[in-house]
């Protein structure tokens, strides 16, 4: 099956989150190739729609935001092992 169009920014974000589980903003920027400000807009919209949730991660004394796909969407996509 060939795919004739490019993925949208939201589709790229959802695919990365589905594959990786949860990611920081910097990781999403690296994996998707989308600029930081555009990512923030789409992640805020996805959080308001209830598809993505935001949490806090701690590493090396620093706190950063982690974004994850909600489990009901993982189940719909059959991504849980």
Look at residue 2 and tell me whether its pLDDT is greater than 80: no
Domain locations in the chain as residue ranges: 9-75
Q: Cα–Cα distance between 60 and 53 in angstroms, integer? A: 23
Q: Which architecture does CATH list for 9-75?
A: Orthogonal Bundle (1.10)
Give pLDDT tens digits for 21-72: 899 999 999 999 999 999 999 999 999 999 999 999 888 888 989 999 987 7
């Amino acid at each position: 099956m060939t795919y004739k169009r490019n993925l949208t920014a939201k589709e790229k974000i959802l695919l990365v989150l589905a594959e990786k589980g949860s990611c920081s903003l910097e990781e999403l920027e690296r994996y998707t190739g989308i600029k930081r400000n555009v990512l923030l807009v789409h992640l805020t919209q996805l959080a308001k729609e209830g598809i993505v949730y935001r949490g806090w991660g701690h590493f090396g004394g620093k706190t950063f935001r982690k974004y994850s796909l909600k489990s009901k969407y993982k189940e719909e996509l059959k991504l849980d092992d």
